[in-house]
Structure 1
């Protein structure tokens, strides 16, 4: 006879770590510069939202800086968005990413990073160090241009 104590394993949630893709490694975009990352990200942005509300996206990269996927970490309001770093890294770990390029848009059109922009960059970089997932860049994008933390020596 099975006791309640012995059957508790049946009510525990199962966790499965899996990353499925139909894209061959040879067909994945290779991120070699901030300008190419901007071009790729801008192409994935909804043109109706880039100048309207702030969103935060992540390029998940393999060891060769090839794109494993793009994760939309947050979609917020006109002047900001909140990023849950735990969910960002859950996506990175699930995809087996070893590098990240994070990006968010400024609907105002300003390319200057704010103090919260600098803080979230530092927080993500620090968390990535613990997980051996390197933050390669943080792009602030607008409809016309971008700011690269890496290119400007701010990373």
Structure 2
């Protein structure tokens, strides 16, 4: 019985994360600063993308990008929900910002300021990447 209860809890918790992420347009700032979900492409791609030097006391990075307009299948987007900016200061990708899509078809220019907490208050290299997620909670590949 205990095993069944543990499985149910695991399924329940795993099922809640996409539900929380779907709230991106309703203030998903509570996700900022949390580690990337285990299924996120940020785990495999965010360590080798755009690198920036961050130093105190201004440990912020301005990230500018254009929302995608086509899916990974090459077809025009019709259900873009949000983009996620990740930073990796060495401990794995962390959600820096969840940005609601400008439109379901994407294409808008986006500029966001992300705060990167520095552990020892000294200059360090940080990688930045962005992913796009559709309304079906399918996250695309991370890009620089």
Per the normalisation by structure 2, the TM-score is 0.33
More helix, by proportion: 1
Instruction: Select the structure of larger CA radius of gyration.
Output: 1
Per the normalisation by structure 1, the TM-score is 0.31
